[in-house]
Amino acid sequence: MQCRAECGACCIAISIRQPFFGMPGGKPAGVACVHLSRDMRCGVFGDARRPALCAAFEPEAEYCGDNQAQATQRLAQLEIQTAPVIVHLQGAM
């Protein structure tokens, strides 16, 4: 499968927890990457500074759906399902 033109869902929906070129604090889910161009393409595609997570991400029908809205929704759901569990310990100390 090829990336859908003018989509950019993966550059917005997913989080990147590691610092990378242009985003030293990483990228929160739902926030557009600073390298996402106006035509919704990766501005660092093929660049060694591109995050490893992005380089490893391949478009698949399961995640991309039939349009950009479906891709955004599916990737947002995947983000929720794979988020680290934060345990709140009341009274710990």
Tell me: the pLDDT tens digits for 10-40? 999 999 999 999 999 999 999 999 999 999 9
Does any domain span residue 92? Answer: no
Asked whether residue 54 is assigned to any structural domain, the reply reads: yes
26 domain-assigned: yes
The domain in which residue 59 lies consists of 10-81
Q: Write down the pTM of the prediction.
A: 0.82
Determine, yes or no, domain membership for 55. yes
Q: Does residue 24 belong to any structural domain of this protein?
A: yes
pLDDT recorded at residue 84: 80
Task: Say if 36 falls within a structural domain.
Answer: yes
* Domain tally, the chain: 1
Would 87 be classed as within a structural domain? no
- What is the 8-class DSSP label of residue 66? S
Give the mean model confidence (pLDDT) for residues 71-82. Answer: 93
How far is CA 1 from each of CA 4, 47, 49, 66, rounded to the nearest angstrom? 9, 21, 24, 12
